[in-house]
Amino acid sequence: MTNPLLDFSSLPRFDEVTPDHVAPAIRELLAGYRALVAQVIACDTPVTWDDFVQPMIDCGERLSRAWGMVSHLHSVNDIAPWRDAYNELLLEISAFYAEVGQNLALFAKYKALAASDEFGKLSAVRKRIIENELRDFRLSGAELTEAQKPRFKEIQEQLSALAAKFSENLLDATNAHAEWVSDEAELDGLPEDVIGAAKQAAESVASTERQGKWKFTLQAPSYVPLMQYGNHQPLRARMYRAYVTRASEFGPAEWDNTPLIEQILALRDEEAKMLGYANYAEVSVAPKMAESPQEVDQFLRQMAVKARPFAERDLAELSDFARSELGLEKLDAWDLSWAAERLKQARYNFSDDLVKQYFPESKVLQGLFHVIQSLFAVNVKADQAPVWNPDVRFYRIEREGQLIGQFYLDLYARETKRGGAWMDDARGRRAIAGRIQTPVAYLTCNFSAPLGNKEATFTHDEVITLFHECGHGLHHLLTGIDDLSVAGIHGVEWDAVELPSQFMENFCWEWDVLQGMTRHVDTGESLPRELFDKMLAAKNFQSGLHILRQIEFGLFDLAIHSTPVGADVLCMAGSPLRGAPTPLKILGELRRQFAVLIPPEWNRFPNSFAHIFAGGYAAGYYSYQWAEVLSADAYSAFEDARAKYGSALDAATGERFLREILSVGGSRPALESFTAFRGRVPSPDALLRHSGMAEPAVAAQL
């Protein structure tokens, strides 16, 4: 088989695939899929699972696996050849899925199956798959008139292209900016490894193009510690402005995401109207746990009311400290992280950089795998597979010697890799030809790479991020469902998909877990209990500001997808917003109502909000807060085990979590899975307690 994208016999052949393979492979798969659709909608094709549904699943999997590999390489190796290959086929892929989603004959086949005696004989899992298909056909425009369908299809193609361009603009704008430093005094306060990485970055540039001794970039491993520790305010100010104006009118026009945002919102609004919904928020919420955008809005506003007093307290404490101890009468946006770190050190007598020295990569992975093995009775072992970069690792998960799943781990930031952290599936679990096809996942982060001969070390926040993405991975890899469409993360409501990821974060605060995953990079000593107690005391430091900011993002996302495009007046909680409701005006009004920190007017946060404009979270960013209620409440069962047995790593509770939540994937509603695990509906009490926002009486009860 000459084209590695067409080889589905085993793992992806990353050592062989090239951009030239993309077009011929994807077009061959599209042609085969179209031929199958024509075959199954023929009158003589029986309306049964085996004759109709299963062939569609089989064909769809081949296309999604091949295109998923292309999409993955576009994300982690965004060089010109891969970008061009991806974009060349993107419109064809989008057009095809829109075409299938609008196929009335195919829709009729699914409806006929749902109405047949055959449907009653199907398992509950397969009935859910059919019901999901019927819902998705309606959301894909299958019931539109023939006159409307071409425009609807065109909208899907345009939205796919705009999302890709948004992400590419953000990556290019991020990579384009650098702050060169020649005066060592400007490095005051920065940790040694950050300075070393900046020197290494400068030395990697040709001497003729070098503009200083140290090079700082807008990538997280460089930007975040500079803003947190750098004592040189002008450098922080320059970095902040560059970061928050990325992909905006303040930079090159070809990277400005402002017109893309306008087009995306207009197209989504048009799509919603065509489907008979009032706005895109209603479209987004239709397949989720939440009943309506109004329920989401009420949830977020209630959370904002609870969080705001704590945020106000946080800001008052920070302002007082900056004034009395740092000589800052006014806290500018570029001072906030720096001042917060200074206050944290003064109050708790430790720094994040001190903690970082206790988290070398090898011990962190050892500790992570220990948690997985203790809770879910599996073993995680190093494995071998072709990879896209020499730094990528590959692992296998076994239970009693039997392969359960495998995953790639890509930890370090690179210029050709989009920012953030994410999990995606390379292959899903399914029963096929009398055997089980085991799932495979990608786990991707953007941490600092090793410097020189030293092992990479992670901040505690980065450790939490790793556990978060691993939670998504476990949801996919430990599934027990044999039908691909609802196995693992497939078919899970979007506002519940963060439950396993946020759940796993909690173990980063367990003493018996941290004992086994820490070793000082120089002395070899484990994390001292005294330092852990300080970390625990500081866990909710400035959490009111953080939570309120996340709620602000969720409300903004919901508002811009609920606002009539072209409206002259927008009423938000009784407050009129005059003039055309642009995203920036909407964000400004929301900040006026809810925020306690107002950034500079030139801040262009929406232009880098890739989650909602390029990442699948449109009118769904609230999912982080929504699922956090579920995850905190789920974890309280492990806290009960800790109180009873002395450790949250309780195998019996872990087995129940695996059985009722992880293993069932999307085979049943997420609320049913949660209730089966906890024995009741979710309660926000645990989240409020974990966040330091519980009322004293509630805290005493718990």
Least confident of 3-7, 345-349, 458-462, 692-696: 692-696
Q: Quick check: 695 and 515 in contact, CB under 8 A?
A: no
Phi/psi for 211 (5° steps) reads -115, 10
Task: Give pLDDT tens digits for 433-452.
Answer: 889 999 999 999 999 999 88
Residue 457 has φ and ψ, to the nearest 5°, of -120, 150
Q: In angstroms, how far is CA 678 from the centroid of its own chain?
A: 25
pLDDT-above-70 percentage for the chain: 96
Q: Does residue 15 have a pLDDT over 50?
A: yes
275-321 pLDDT, tens per residue? 999 999 999 999 999 999 999 999 999 999 999 999 999 999 999 99
Give the SS3 label for residue 144: coil
Residue 357 structure tokens: 């020295």
How does pLDDT run across 217-245, given as a tens digit for each residue? 999 999 999 999 999 999 999 999 999 99
Query: Per-residue pLDDT for 571 more than 50?
Result: no
Is it the case that residue 574 has pLDDT exceeding 60? no
Q: Is pLDDT of 697 > 50?
A: no
Is CATH 1.20.140.10 the classification given to domain 4-101+103-139?
no
Give the pLDDT band of residue 579 (cuts 50, 70, 90).
Answer: low
The dihedral through the CA atoms of 621, 639, 515, 370 has a sign that is negative
Give the confidence band of 507 by pLDDT, cuts at 50, 70, 90: very high
Average pLDDT of the chain to the nearest whole number: 94
Find the catalytic residue in 157, 469, 505, 660. Answer: 469
pLDDT tens readout for residues 186-196: 999 999 999 99
Which sign, positive or negative, has the C-alpha torsion 670, 672, 677, 683? positive
Least confident window among 439-443, 601-605, 692-696: 692-696
Q: Are 189 and 229 in contact (CB under 8 A)?
A: yes
DSSP letters, 57-83, are: HHHHHHHHHHHHHHHHHHHH---HHHH
Q: Give the ranges where 506-615 is alpha helix by DSSP (H).
A: 511-515, 529-537, 543-560, 583-594, 610-613
- Phi, psi for 471 (deg, rounded to 5): -60, -45
What is the per-residue pLDDT across 400-419, written as a single tens digit (0 to 9) for each? 999 999 999 999 999 999 99
pLDDT of 581 reads 79
Residue carrying structure tokens 């199954």: 40
Q: Which residues contact 77 (CB under 8 A, 6 or more apart)?
A: 388, 389, 416, 417
Query: pLDDT-derived band of residue 568, with 50, 70 and 90 as boundaries?
Result: very low
Position 590 pLDDT exceeds 90:
yes
Answer yes or no: 469 catalytic: yes
> pLDDT band at residue 184, thresholds of 50, 70 and 90?
very high
Q: Which residues contact residue 284 at a Cβ distance below 8 angstroms, ignoring those fewer than 6 apart?
A: 293, 561, 618, 619, 620
Q: What is the pLDDT of residue 702?
A: 25
The pLDDT of 268-272, averaged and rounded, is 97
Domain ranges of the chain: 4-101+103-139, 177-246, 356-434+452-525
Q: Which CATH class is domain 356-434+452-525?
A: mainly alpha
